């Protein structure tokens, strides 16, 4: 599959939040205002891109040669957890400004299922290193897109009168559902139309 096809698939067709339900907790939890949504979105994209490549290397250079693929889940989660710590330290040293923007979101990312999800999906789809990286960053961008749209919707929802039981989380889910309906317009036909 070409890289453009992977990009379109993970951003629009198989959007991680709206069709795969990976990473819902931050999607609901951190989408109350646009600023933190952008911070979370970029932090997730960043970690997913790096995690895809690192887990690909771990899988192909360590797990497969030693024939211990059954340890995949344990290894991947450990790699991701240490990677998140590492990224946090590096960002803090290199760019305090970026750390200020992303810092509080980074620890939360370890238990974001989107990151472990993309690592496992890359393995099942048999992607090579560059394809894994493309998939990881596109899935992250898809997450960013969804959480950004969601935060805009929720900021507007603050200004209208919502029935009491629906305030907060329920209306967020329902708006998410309507967004998912809109995203259904993107399907496999999009790929064939665009790329022939």
Partner 1 sequence: MGKKSIFREFTKGILKENPIFIILLGLCPALGVSSKVINAIGMGAGVIFVLLSSNIFVSLLKNFIPEKVRIPSYIVIIASFVTIVEMVMQAYLPTLFESLGVFVPLIVVNCVILGRAEAFANRNTVTASILDALGMGIGFTLSLILIALVREVLGAGTITIMAIGDFDGIIKIPVIYNAPARVFGLSAGALLVMGYLKAFFNWYSSRRRAA
Contact footprint for partner 1 (CB under 8 A) = 18-25, 28-29, 70-74, 77-78, 81, 110-113, 116-117, 120-121, 124, 163-167, 169-174, 176-178, 180-181, 184
Among 28, 8, 4, residue whose Cα is nearest residue 17: 28
133 neighbors 50 (Cβ within 8 angstroms) = no
- Least distance in angstroms from the C-beta of 111 to partner 1: 5
Minimum separation from the CB atom of position 130 to partner 1 (A): 22
Tell me the helices (H) and strands (E) count for the chain, helix number first: 10, 0
Nearer to partner 1, 37 or 119 (CB): 119
Q: How far is the CB of 17 from partner 1 (least distance, A)?
A: 9
Residue 73 or residue 192: which is nearer to partner 1 going by CB?
73
Beta carbon of residue 67, minimum distance to partner 1 (angstroms, whole number): 15
Count of beta carbons in the 10 Å neighbourhood of residue 55: 27
| Spatial distance between the Cα atoms of 20 and 114, rounded to a whole number of angstroms | 9
Q: Decide: helix, strand or coil at residue 26.
A: helix
């Amino acid at each position: 599959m070409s890289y453009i096809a992977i990009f379109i698939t993970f951003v629009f067709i198989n959007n991680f939040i709206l069709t795969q339900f990976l990473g819902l907790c931050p999607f609901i939890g951190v989408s109350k205002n646009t600023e933190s949504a952008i911070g979370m979105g970029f932090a997730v994209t960043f970690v997913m891109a790096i995690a895809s490549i690192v887990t690909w290397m771990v899988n192909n250079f360590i797990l497969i040669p030693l024939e211990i693929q059954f340890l995949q889940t344990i290894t991947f989660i450990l790699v991701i957890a240490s990677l998140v710590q590492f990224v946090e330290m590096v960002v803090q040293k290199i760019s305090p400004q970026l750390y200020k923007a992303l810092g509080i979101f980074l620890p939360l990312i370890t238990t974001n299922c989107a990151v472990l999800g993309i690592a496992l999906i890359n393995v099942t789809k048999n992607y090579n290193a560059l394809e894994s990286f493309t998939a990881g960053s596109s899935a992250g961008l898809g997450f960013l897109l969804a959480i950004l749209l969601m935060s805009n919707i929720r900021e507007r929802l603050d200004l209208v009168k919502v029935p009491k039981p629906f305030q907060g989380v329920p209306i967020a889910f329902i708006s998410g559902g309507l967004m998912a309906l809109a995203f259904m317009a993107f399907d496999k036909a999009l790929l064939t139309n665009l790329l022939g």
